């Protein structure tokens, strides 16, 4: 299952869909929505988020197990450095490995001060690089302290994230290099909205990969897409989310449409998002779609 996903990532078109477990003791609503829109037959795999914005949600590893069992599709489970120390991180990796959850998205995590749980404290023993190092150790048959396992873990495929835009792309290139150096097989960008921005990212990524002469040169760049159907979403992302650039022509088109009404605003946003998706498929068909569990939008764009 995971070998097929990695093969598609490295040699073919590749499409994964993000799911965000909810503040519920069940994943059934997400499962039923995926079934409703037949999304398991439209994507190569899924991902599960790990308490984004430090808000309490259903566990990402259990969610990955649920989706993987239900749909027989590989799932990339997110693990954040915010909530676990090095013992808990490795313990989770061991348990997940036994259940064949072996694609891990390593994140530092959003600040604990954003949490909806009173007086929450972040752990943050380090950033996501430590988790990549742990996975590297596991893939070499030992824990982070160098103690060998009597039973060697199944190979884990680590993913990492990267900003999609920077005032200085050379700085971004250094971050790419560091994550590939520590074993990331795929770098998933924050959402992109400008095909020229995509070309710049690709150029810097290829420069980065040129520094490796081993299996790390197989690492791939995966472009994040987050469809925009509302003007306020475009304005928020453009103004308040570092590392994302929403072009002015998107904002102007959505602003004009919004004056006509919400239906026109939605139509214009969908048209822009669909065109971006199609352009990306032609240029670099390795895509990770994020829709905040709006699976109807995912289905409409993927078709």
- Model confidence at 2: pLDDT above 80: no
Instruction: Provide the percentage of residues in the chain whose pLDDT is more than 70.
Output: 100
Write the pLDDT tens digit of every residue in 136-153: 999 999 999 999 999 999
Q: Candidates 3.20.20.220, 3.60.15.10, 3.40.50.2020, 3.30.70.890; correct CATH number of 2-302?
A: 3.20.20.220
Q: Which residue has the tokens 């988020």?
A: 49
Mean model confidence pLDDT for the chain: 95
Average pLDDT, integer, range 277-287: 97
- pLDDT score at 273: 97
Residue of 103 and 166 predicted with greater confidence: 103
156 — phi, psi (to 5°)? -105, 135
Model pTM score = 0.96
Predicted local distance difference test score (pLDDT) of residue 3:
85
Q: Look at residue 39 and tell me whether its pLDDT is greater than 90.
A: yes
Query: At residue 240, does pLDDT exceed 90?
Result: no
286-289 and 186-191 strand pairing: unpaired
**pLDDT for residue 13 is more than 80:** yes
Judged by average pLDDT, the poorest of 6-10, 55-59, 279-283 is 6-10
pLDDT at 274: 97
- The 3-state secondary structure of the chain reads CHHHHHHHHHHCCEEEEEECCCCCCCCHHHHHHHHHCCHHHCCCEEEECCCHHHCCCCCHHHHHHHHHHHHCCCEEEEEECCCCCHHHHHHHHHHHHHCCCCEEEEECCCCHHHCCCCCCCCCCCCCHHHHHHHHHHHHCCECCCCCECCCCCCCCEEEEEECCCCCCHHHHHHHHHHHHHCCCCEEEEEECCCHHHHHHHHHHHHHHHCCCCCHHHHCEEEEEECCCCCHHHHHHHHHHCCCCCCCHHHHHHHHHHHHHCHHHHHHHHHHHHHHHHHHHHHHCCEEEECCCCCHHHHHHHHC
Residue with tokens 């199944």: 154
Question: How many percent of the chain have pLDDT more than 90?
Answer: 89
Look at residue 239 and tell me whether its pLDDT is greater than 80.
yes
- Give the per-residue pLDDT at 167: 85
- Flag whether pLDDT at 303 surpasses 90: no
Q: Report the distance separating Cα 224 and Cα 72, nearest Å.
A: 23
Dump pLDDT digits (tens) for 152-180. Answer: 999 999 999 999 998 889 899 999 999 99
Query: How high is the pLDDT of residue 269?
Result: 97
Averaged pLDDT for residues 8-23? 95
| pLDDT band of 299, cuts 50, 70, 90 | very high
Domain range summary for the chain, segments of one domain joined by +: 2-302
């Amino acid at each position: 299952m995971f070998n097929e996903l990695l093969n598609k990532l490295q040699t073919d078109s590749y499409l994964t869909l993000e799911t965000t477990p909810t503040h519920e003791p069940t994943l059934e609503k997400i499962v039923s929505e995926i079934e409703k829109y037949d999304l398991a037959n439209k994507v190569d795999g899924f991902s599960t988020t790990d308490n984004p914005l430090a808000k309490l949600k259903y566990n990402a590893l259990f969610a990955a197990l649920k989706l993987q069992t239900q749909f027989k599709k590989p799932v990339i489970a997110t693990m954040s450095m915010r909530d676990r120390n090095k013992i808990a991180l490795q313990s989770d990796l061991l348990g997940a490995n036994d259940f064949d959850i072996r694609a891990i998205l390593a994140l530092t995590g959003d600040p604990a001060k954003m949490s909806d749980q009173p007086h929450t404290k972040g752990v943050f023993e380090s950033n996501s690089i430590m988790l990549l190092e742990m996975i590297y150790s596991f893939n070499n048959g030992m824990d982070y302290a160098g103690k060998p396992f009597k039973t060697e873990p199944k190979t884990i495929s680590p993913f990492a994230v990267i900003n999609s835009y920077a005032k200085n792309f050379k700085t971004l290139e250094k971050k790419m290099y560091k994550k590939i150096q520590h074993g990331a097989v795929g770098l998933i960008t924050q959402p992109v909205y400008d095909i020229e921005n995509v070309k710049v990212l690709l150029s810097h990524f290829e420069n980065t990969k040129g520094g490796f002469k081993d299996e790390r040169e197989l690492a791939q760049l995966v472009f994040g897409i987050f469809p925009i159907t509302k003007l306020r979403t475009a304005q928020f992302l453009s103004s308040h989310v570092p590392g994302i650039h929403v072009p002015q022509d998107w904002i102007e088109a959505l602003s004009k449409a919004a004056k006509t009404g919400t239906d026109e605003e939605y139509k214009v946003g969908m048209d822009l998002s669909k065109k971006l998706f199609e352009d990306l498929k032609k240029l670099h068909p390795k895509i990770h779609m994020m829709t905040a569990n709006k699976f109807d939008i995912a289905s409409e764009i993927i078709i």
